[in-house]
Structure 1
Amino acid sequence: MTIPAIALRGLCVLPKMVVHFDVSRRKSILALEKAMVGDQKIFLVAQKSVQDEDPGKEELYSIGTIGMIKQILKLPGGMVRVLVEGLERAQLSALEAEEGYLEADVEVCPPEPFLEADDVTKEAMCRILKEHVEKYAAVNPALSKDVATMLLESRTLEELLDEISISIPFSMENKQQLIETTSLPERYVLVEQILGTEVEISRIKQEFQEKVKERIDKNQKEYILREQMKLIKEELGEDTIQADAEQFERQLEKLKAGKEVKERISKEIGRYKTMPMGSQEAYVSRNYIETLLGLPWSRMSRDNKDLARAEKILEEDHYGLEKVKERVMEFLAVRSLTGKGDSPIICLVGPPGTGKTSIARSVARALGKRYVRICLGGIRDEAEIRGHRRTYVGAMPGRVAAALKQAGASNPLMLLDEVDKVGSDYKGDPASALLEILDSAQNDTFRDHYIELPLDLSNVLFIATANTTQTIPRPLLDRMEIIEVSSYTENEKYHIADKYLVVKQMKKNGLTADQFSVSAKAVRKIIHNYTREAGVRELERKIGELCRKAAKELLDGKKKQVKITEGNLEKYLGKELVRFETVNEEDAVGIVRGLAWTSVGGDTLEVEVNLMPGSGKLHLTGQMGDVMKESAEAALSYVRSVSPAYQVDSAVYEKNDIHVHIPEGAVPKDGPSAGITMATAMLSAVTNKKVKADLAMTGEITLRGRVLPIGGLKEKLLAAKMADIHTVLVPGNNKPHVQELSSEILDGMDIKFVGSMDEVLKEALV
C-alpha cells in the first residue's frame, strides 16, 4: 500500500503499542493531515540518525509499523501532539516526497508462526520469559506492579512476546531489532536475550547503587560527626588551630625554598596541629611557623643593570660624594659582567649630617634593590643580632632576619646604621655577632638562634655607617671597605641647599615658588654665620625655620610673597650665632694655632704656654686626654733636648714651671696631632721668641723631633680656611692626602710640608 509516512527520531512504535509523541517538522505535520483526510493510517519508521533533518530512504530503517491515528492536538509554536496505535509491521519499498510530505510504498510483514513447537514447548518458553520478568521486576523498581502482574497473566506465547516488547523500556536499538524480527522463534530468542541482559544490567546497577548509597551514608555520617566535632571545638576554642594549620600548608605549597626548609616547616605544622588551643607552646609554635613562612628563602628581586640610569639617579639625589658614587658604579659593573658577584660590605665613615644614611637609600633606588635599615646605636644584647633561642618565652628572631622578612627578598640593600655605637655588656658582644654577618666568606650560612636554619646573606648588599672608626673593633673594621665621607665645604653646602634643601623644606611647609624664595647670598650667609657643622642638618633646620615664618606671614595676610635676602635675614633668624676663631692680630710669644679633627668636623685650637717660677713641673689644663698629655710630655722632652742650640740654660727647667693650656677648658680634647703645636709653643715661651700669627700647624712629634703624619686633613684645612689662616704646616707624609683635595679647599692657602721640628720652627718662629 501507499500511505503517508513520518520519520521518527529516537523512537520506535511496535504493533499493538499505543503511544503519543510531538511532531514539529513541516513534512510530518502535512503527512498527518493527509492521513486524517484518508483512512487515518500512517507509516511510522525510525531514522538511523537523530541529527538528520530531512532523511531520505537510505537514512531510514527498512522495517517500520503501520499505525492508526487516534488523536491530534495542536500545541503552541506550530507543534502537534499525536496519539497513535501500532497495527502491523511493514517493509519500506519506496519513499517519495509528494506535495511537501513523505509518502511511502510499504508491504505488510505478517508474523511467522511456530511451526515445529508444540503446546508444551510454548508453555516452557512462557515460563522462562515470566521468570525473567519476575527477576527484572525484583531488581528494577521502575516497573510497576500492575504492569508486572499483567505480563505474568499473559496466556499465549505470542501475546507475552508482544506485551514484553511494549511494556518493558528497552532501548531504541533493541526495539528496532524486535520490529525487524518477523519470525516468532527468532523473536523469542531475541526477547529472552534482551530481557536477560536487562536483568543482569539492572542487578549490576542495583549493586553499584547500593555501594554508592553505602558510601554516601558513610560520608554523611562522617560529615555529621565532623560538624559535631567542629561545634565542640568551637565551644572549646580549638577550631582555629586546624584552620591555621590548613592555611600554613597552603602557604607552604607556594613557598620558594629548599627541601630542608620545607621539611622543617612541614614537621612544625604537624606538631602545631596536635597542640591544645590556648597553650603557651601553641603560641610559640605558631609564631615560629609564621616567621619561617614569611622569610624570602629563595625569592629575589630583579636588580637594575642599567649603568647610565643608576648614575643618573645618584647624581640626582646627591651633590658630591664622588668616591661613594664611583664605588657603587664599580659594584654594578662587576654585577653586570659576572651575573652575581660577591656583595661588598661598604662602611661610610664621616661626620653627622653628611648624607651617609640618605646615600644608602639612593644606592638602593639606583640598583633597584629593596631597602631596609637596622639602627645599631646603643645595642648591647647579642640576641638583638642573632635572635633569642626558642626556649625563652617571647623569643623573636634577630634584627637581620627580621629585616629580611620586612624586605621580602633575599637580596635587599641592608643599612647597618651607627655601627660605631654598638655597645657590649654581660649579655654579650653584638659587635662579635656582626663578624659572621659581615664576612662574605661565611655569611651564606648565617644561623639565627630563633630560626635554627641557615640563612643565605651572601646576596645582601650591606652598607654600614659610622661617625668614626676609632670605636669600631678592629676585627669588625677589617671586614668592611671604608669610604670616607668628609665634611662639606661652604660651596658644597650652598649647592646642596640650592638643589635639595630649599625645595624639600618648601614642599614640607606647603610653599610654592611664587610664594617663597631665598637669594643665593642669603643662603651663603646662613651657612657662614648661622651654622657651624660638617654636614647640612642645621642648615636644613634654618631653612625650615625660614619657611615656617614665611608661611605664618602669608596666612596672616600681611604679604603675598616672601623673599629672603641677605639684608632681611636677621629679621627672620635673629642675630648671627656663630663666631669663628680668626687669626691673631699680631705675633705673640707662647701662643700657637693648632688644627683639630672632631666627629662633627674640623676646628682650630690655640695652644697657650706660660713660663713661671716654680720647681720644674709641667701643668696641663683644658680637658686633655691621655694621648694629648703624652704628646705634651714628648714635646717638653724634645724642647729640653734642643735648648742648647737656642742658648737656653738647663737651669730654666729646674727653677720654672711650664703651664700648657688649651682654651675652652670645658671641652674634652684628645688625639695625637697636637705634638708639634705644643712643642713650638713651649720653645717660644722658653726662648721668648714670637710665633707668626697667620700660621697654623698639625702633626705628631717624636722625642727626636720627627713629624709624623695625621688624619682628618680635609676637615682641619677647612677649619683653617674658616679662621682666615693662609699658611698651614702639614707633615710631609700627608702630601698625597693634600693632592687628593679639591682646588676649592686649597685656593688661597699656602700649604708647607715639614718633616722635622727644625723645619717647623724655621717656618713658625719670627
Structure 2
Amino acid sequence: MVKTTLPLLTLPQPLLLLPTARITVPVSKPIGDALLALVQDSETEPVIAAVPGTPPDAPLHPWGTAARITRLIKPPIRNIKQPYLLSLSGTTRIHIHPDDTVVSKREEGLVSCRVEYPPRDGIPTTENVLKFKSAALRLLEFLAKDTTQQSKRDTYNKVASMIEEVSEQRAPYMADVMVANVNGEYADKLAFLSAVDANDRLERATVLFMKQTTISEVSQKIAQSVDESLSKQQKEFFLRQQLAAIQRELANLNRSNPVTSTTNNQDGKPPSELDNDEQAEVEDMADIRAKIEVMAQGSEERKMAVREWRRLKRIPPGSVEQGVVRNYLEWLVSVPWPASSVSSSAAIDVISSREFLPNARKQLDCDHYGLEKIKKRLIEYLAVVRLKTLQVEAEQKRLQAAVAAKLQIEAASDDGVVAEPVSPPGIPKSSTQKSVKGPILLFVGPPGTGKTSLGQSVARALDRPFQRISLGGVRDEGEIRGHRRTYVGSGPGLIVQALRKAGRPDPVILLDEIDKVSHSNFHGDPAAALLEVLDPEQNHGFNDHYVNVPINLSHVLFICTANTLETISAPLLDRCEIIQLSGYTYDEKMHIAKRFLLPKQLSANGLTSDHLTITEPTLLQIATLYTREAGVRSLDRAIGAVVRYKAVEWAEHLDTTMDLADPSSVVVESSLLDKSSPYAKVVEEHELEKILGIARWDAEEREREERRGLVYGLVVSGVGEGGILPVETATVPGSGKLRLTGSLGDVIKESGELALSWVKTHAYELGITNSRNQDPLKIPDSIDIHLHLPAGAVKKDGPSAGIAMTCAFVSLLTGACVPSSVAMTGEITLRGRVGPVGGIKEKVLGAHRAHIRKVILPWANRKDVDHDVPFEVKAAMQFVFVRTMEETLEAAFGKGVLGWRSSVEVIESRL
C-alpha cells in the first residue's frame, strides 16, 4: 500500500462520502480558515481525508475517502457564527491503520494523519457480477415506475442500459456510483465503504439494492392502497354529482308543470341556481332532517323534533323566529338520547372482559401512587358497575329471544300476517332500557390530592368519554337547567352541553368544586338544581328548560369533588357517597415526585433525565421547607422552578459548546457532560436557596423546649397539613381570671375555660391547694393565667386542644413539666371525659415530621390510627389512648410524677 499524510476531516453523522460521490458539508470557522489557507497555498485542488464520524471517545474509523476540495464558501464578515460551506468530490478509498492514528501535526484546528491507499480493484467473479446486475436493474425498474418526472425516468433507463453493458473490470466502479446515489441505511453504506475486495463490494451492493427494492415494493403497495381509497372517494363524488344533475333535470321538468312543481329550499330556487351559502344551508337542513329520522320511533324527543321541523318549514325566510327554531333543532338532534343512541360496543366489551378489574387496578396504580383505601373503594365501584351491566345485557338478550320466538309463532299462523314487534306478555316494554345505576361518588380533600385525576382514571378504566364541569362560582340556576327559549340568547345548561360534547348517553361527568356552587339568591338556587341531576330516583327524567324534553341521565356516571363538606347543603350531600382524601405522606410525596412530577417537568421544559438529577434529600427538603401542603400541586410548581433554572444553565452551556464544535453535527448531548464540564446535572440541598430563595418554613418546630406551663398540641392547618402547636401559659398578678390570646374562636375559648374549671375542681387531688374550698388562682396570692397559642394572625378554632390546655394548666400550677417529645389532642368534658376529634392522620403525620416520640389520643380514635396511619409511622411512634383526664395526666407527665391525693374524705360523725 502507498502511504502518505493528508489533512483529516471528520464528517458529521449520518453524512458519508463514497468514491465518485459529491457532498457539501458545513465546517466550523477554525477548520474553514485552515482549509482556506490550504487552498490558497496549493496550485491544484488539494486532497483531504474524509472519515465517517464516530463518538468522541471512540477511535477514528479505519476507512475513509480521499476527496478533492472543489469549492469552499467563506461566510460574510457580519455573521461570525455562520459556518463555511465545503464541497468535496470523492476519489478513492483510504485506510487508516490503528497504529497510524497518532496525530502528526496540528495547524489552527486542522489535523493531519497518515493514510494508506489500497491497491486497485481486482476482477470480480462472473457470478457476483451477474447478481449485481440483476439486483441493480430490478431496483432501477422500480425507481423508474415510482417517479412521475420524465427526466428521472430517462436517467434511470440510461443507467440501466449502462449496467447491462458494463464489463467485469468496471463493475466495482459502477457499484460505487450506484451506492453513492441510492438511498440506504447508514450502516450498510459504511460497510460498503470498508469493502476493498471487488467481490466483497459487489456482494454488499447487491444486498443493499435488494433491500431498497423491497422497500420500493412496499411503498408501491401502500401508494396503491391509498390510490384505491382515493378512487372510492372520487366515485362517491361522481355519484353525488350525477345525483345533483338528475335533481336539476327533475327540477326543470317540474318547473314546466306548475301543478307538480316542488323545490328543495324555501326560496323556490332549483339546486342549480343556488350559490355556495345557499347550498350549505340546504345541506345543513338535510342533515338535521336525517338526524330526526334516526330518532327512536314514538319517543318524546322525536315528537318534539318533528313538531318543530314542521313549524320551521312554515316560518318565512329571514324571520328572527327561524333562527331561534333552527338553533333549538340543532341542539335537540345533537343530544345523545339513550333511546336513539347505541352505546359503544367496545366499552361494553371492555366491561364484559374478564381482564376488566385487573386492568382497572393497573390503570389506577399507573395514574396514582398510594391512596390504597380510595383505590379499593373505586375497584368496588367498578365491580358493581360491571355486574349491573352484565345483568342488563343478559336481560336484553332474554327479551330479544322472547320477542324473536313470538314473531316466529305469529309468522307460522294461518293468516300469515306478522304483527308489529312487541314485548312478550308480562314483561314491560321499558325494561329493555334499564340503566346501570350506581352511587354518586364525592371526593373530599385538600387541593392537589388527585381528586380530578381519579375521575379521569375511572373513565379510562370504563372506556367512556370524560367530561368535566366546573361548578366554582356558578350562581344561576339556568346554568344547570338551561334558560327557557323565551329569553334572548338562551341555551341549554352545562349538563346538556357536556352530553353533546361526549357524544354518548353514558359518559363519566365530573362535577368539580361542588362545595363552591352558590346557594339561594335572586337567580335561583343552583345547588337545589343539582338535586335532580344527582338523585338516581329522579335523574331518569331530568328537565332542561331549553330542551324542554325529559333527558335520561341515569346512564351517566357522576363523580363530584369538593375541598370541604361545610358549604354543601345537607340534601345534596345526602345523594353522595363521601370518600375522604386526607393527603399524602412525605414518603408518598417522594415517590410521586420521582415517578410523575419530575419526568413531567423535564418533558415540559425540554430536558431529559440525562440532563438533570434531583437527589431524594433535595426533594424532601423542597417538600418540607418550601411546599408544605396536603397535596402535590405546590411541589410540582417548585420542581418546575428547579428544572427551569437548570434548563437555563444547560442552554447556556450548550450554546458555549456549540461555538466550539461542528454546528452541523448531531451533538450527542450526554457526551458534553464529562467530568470537566462546568454544568452540574445533580441538584444538591445547598443549592435550593439560590434557586428557590429562602425557605418559607424552617425547622423551628423540631427545636422544642421542656418548661413549666408549656405543652405541645396537634393541629391541622387550613390546607390539610398537620403539625404541632405549643400551648403556652404564664401566671401574672391579677384577680383570678383567665386571659386567652392567639386569634382564637369561640369553641376553643370555651375549651380553655372548661380546662381551667376542671383544674380548679381537682386542685385538691392534684396537690395544688390544701383544701377543697380554696381557689388555686387566689391562694396564697391572687393571680391571672394567660394562655397563648402562637401564630396569632392565623385563626384557630375547634375543641381538639382541650386536653393540651388542661395539661398546660396543671403543669403551670404544679411545677411539673411535660416532656418535649410528647404531643396530644383530644376534647374534654366538664367531668373529665376525653372525647374523639378529627384529622388524626394529618396530626400524626405532622407529629412524626416534628420527631415527636409519644402521642396521646382519645380512646375513640384508635380505629383511625389503625386504618389511616401508615405502618412505618406507627412503628416509629408510641400511641397512648386515654378515656379520662386522669389517664391523660399520667401519660403526659409520667407515672407517679403528680402526687394525687385520695378523693375519699373521712368525715367525723356527730350523731
Could you say whether these structures have the same fold, taking a TM-score greater than 0.5 normalized by the shorter chain as the test? yes
Bigger mean CA offset, 711-720 vs 685-694: 685-694
Contact 2:612 2:683 in 1 (8 A): no
Q: Quote the residue 2:724 is aligned against.
A: 604
1:538 aligned residue: 634
Q: Distance between the aligned counterparts of 1:646 and 1:328, measured in 2?
A: 52
1:617 pairs, out of 737, 740, 746, with 737
| Pair 445,652 (structure 1): closer, same or farther in 2 beyond 3 Å | same
Pair 1:446-2:542 in alignment: yes
The 8 Å contact of residues 728 and 750 in structure 1, kept in 2 or not, is answered as yes
Runs of 5+ in structure 2 lacking a partner? 1-251, 393-435, 658-671, 674-679, 898-911
Supply the distance in 2 between the matched residues of 1:477 and 1:224 (Cα, whole angstroms). 57
SS of residue paired to 2:261: helix
Matched, 1:337 2:378: no
Deviation string, structure 1 residues 629-672 (Cα, Å, up to 9, x no partner): 22223223222222232244543446433322211111111222
Structure 1 residue identity aligned to 2:857? V
For 1:516 and 1:586, locate their aligned partners in 2 and report how far apart those are by CA, in whole Å: 41
Partner of 1:391: 486
Matches within 5 A, 1:92-103: none
1:367 maps to 2:468: no
Counterpart in the other structure of 2:831: 704
Verify: 1:675 aligned to 2:796, yes or no.
Answer: no
Q: Is the 8 A contact 2:828 2:835 kept in 1?
A: yes
Alignment of 1:643 with 2:763, yes or no, is yes
Q: C-alpha separation between the residues in 1 aligned to 2:494 and 2:569?
A: 20
* Corresponding residue number in structure 2 for 1:748: 876
Quickly say closer, same or farther: Cα 1:251–1:550, change in 2 above 3 A. Answer: same
**Does the Cα contact within 8 Å between 2:266 and 2:317 map onto a contact in 1?**
no
| Shift, 1:528, TM fit | 3.0
TM value normalised by structure 1: 0.67
Contact 1:245 1:269 in 2 (8 A): no
- The worse-fitting range, judged by mean Cα deviation, of 523-532 and 440-449 is 523-532
1:715 and 2:754 aligned: no
2:360 aligns with 310
1:297, 1:410 within 8 Å by CA — same for their partners in 2?
Answer: yes
Residues 29-63 of structure 1 deviation map (CA, whole Å, 9 limit, x = unaligned): xxxxxxxxxxxxxxxxxxxxxxxxxxxxxxxxxxx
Q: Is the 8 A contact 1:248 1:269 kept in 2?
A: no
Over 3 Å counting, the alpha-carbon distance change for 1:273 and 1:658 in structure 2 is farther
For 1:234 and 1:576, the matched residues in 2 are separated by: 71
SS at match of 2:763: helix
Tell me, in whole angstroms, the C-alpha distance in 2 between the residues paired with 1:659 and 1:227. 87
- TM-score computed with the length of structure 2 as normaliser: 0.57
Once residues 455 and 809 of structure 2 are traced to their aligned partners in structure 1, the CA distance between those partners, rounded to angstroms, is 47
Contact 2:369/2:591 (CA < 8 Å) preserved in 1? yes
* 2:330 corresponds to: 290
Q: Which amino acid in the other structure matches residue 748 of structure 1?
A: A
Indicate the residue corresponding to 1:582 in structure 2: 701
**For this pair of structures, how many residues does the alignment match?**
553
Matched residue, 1:436: 532
2:749 pairs with one of 620, 629, 637:
629
- 1:677-699 per-residue CA deviation (whole Å, 9 max, x = no partner) reads 22222232333432222111111
1:241 positional shift: 7.6
Q: 1:216 to 1:371 in 2, by over 3 A?
A: closer
Counterpart-to-counterpart distance in 1, 2:629 and 2:442:
21
CA distance in 2, matches of 1:574, 1:651: 53
Report the identity percentage. Answer: 46
Question: For residues 436 and 318 of structure 1, what CA distance do their matches in structure 2 show?
Answer: 32
Q: What is the CA–CA distance in structure 1 between the aligned matches of 2:859 and 2:451, rounded to whole Å?
A: 31
Are residue 515 (structure 1) and residue 622 (structure 2) matched? no
Deviation at 1:567, TM superposition (A): 4.9
**Alpha-carbon shift at residue 369 of structure 1 (Å):** 1.3
Query: In the superposition, relative to structure 1, how do residues 356 and 581 fare at CA in structure 2: closer, same or farther (>3 Å)?
Result: farther
Q: 2:565 is matched with which residue?
A: 469
For residues 286 and 643 of structure 1, do their structure 2 counterparts lie closer, same or farther at Cα, with a shift above 3 Å needed? Answer: farther
In 1, distance between residues paired with 2:732 and 2:636? 49
| Aligned mates of 1:638, 1:234 — CA distance in 2 | 93
1:17 is matched with none
Change in 2 beyond 3 A, CA 1:603/1:272: farther
Which one-letter code corresponds to 1:758 in the other structure? E
Displacement, 1:583? 4.5
Residues 590 and 220 from structure 1, CA distance in 2 versus in 1: closer, same or farther, beyond 3 angstroms?
A: same
Call closer, same or farther: CA 1:352–1:257 in 2, change over 3 Å.
Answer: farther
User: Cα distance 1:674–1:426, how it changes in 2: closer, same or farther (>3 A)?
Assistant: farther
* Alpha-carbon distance between aligned partners in 2 of 1:471 and 1:735, rounded to the nearest angstrom: 29
Q: Give 1:466 shift.
A: 1.5
Contact 2:254–2:262 (CA under 8 A) maintained in structure 1: no
Q: Cα RMSD over matched residues? A: 2.9
Q: Deviations over 1:354-413 (max 9, x none)?
A: 111112112211111110111112222222222222222222222122111111111111
Q: Which shifted more, 656-665 or 271-280?
A: 271-280
CA deviation profile, 1:328-367 (whole Å, cap 9, x unmatched): 2222222333325422211111111111111211221111
Distance in 2 between residues matched to 1:698 and 1:223, nearest whole Å: 85
Alpha-carbon distance in 2 for matches of 1:279, 1:224: 20
Which of 1 and 2 has greater Rg? Answer: 1
Residues 853, 876 of structure 2: 8 Å contact kept: yes
Aligned to 1:728: 855
CA contact (8 A) 2:645 2:691 kept: yes
In structure 2, relative to structure 1, the CA distance for the partners of 1:253 and 1:665 (3 Å cut) is: same
- State the one-letter code of the partner of 1:751: F
Distance in 2 between residues matched to 1:281 and 1:648, nearest whole Å? 88
CA contact (8 A) 2:760 2:775 kept: no
Match of 2:373 among 311, 323, 327: 323
**CA–CA distance in 1 between the matches of 2:453 and 2:607?**
24
Q: 1:652 to 1:677 in 2, by over 3 A?
A: same
- 1:421–1:503 CA distance, 2 compared to 1 (3 A): same
Amino acid at match of 1:509: N
Q: Distance in 1 between matches of 2:625 and 2:591?
A: 17
What is the rounded CA distance, in whole Å, between the counterparts of 1:763 and 1:433 in structure 2?
Answer: 52
Match of 1:151 in 2: none
**Residue 569 (structure 1) aligns with:** 687
The within-5 A match list for 1:41-190 is: none
Structure 1 residues 582 and 215: CA distance shift in structure 2, 3 A: closer
Aligned counterpart, 2:625:
529
1:695 aligns with 2:822: yes
Which is further off, 596-605 or 554-563?
Answer: 554-563
3-state SS of the aligned residue for 1:434? helix
Distance 1:248 1:492 in 2: 53
**Is 1:253 matched up with 2:293?**
yes
Aligned partners of 1:517, 1:723: CA distance in 2, in Å? 28
- 3-state DSSP of counterpart to 1:286: helix
Seen in structure 2, the aligned counterparts of structure 1 residues 398 and 686 have a Cα distance that, compared at 3 Å, is: farther
CA–CA distance in 1 between the matches of 2:566 and 2:375? 25
Matched to 2:722, the amino acid is: G
SS in 1 for 2:588: helix
1:142 counterpart residue number: none
Report the CA distance between 1:627 and its aligned residue.
Answer: 2.2
CA change 1:372–1:222 in 2 (3 A) is: same
Q: Partners in 1 of 2:267 and 2:474 — Cα distance?
A: 53
CA–CA distance in structure 2, aligned partners of residues 432 and 513 of structure 1:
50
Contact between 2:255 and 2:261, CA under 8 Å: does it hold in 1?
A: no
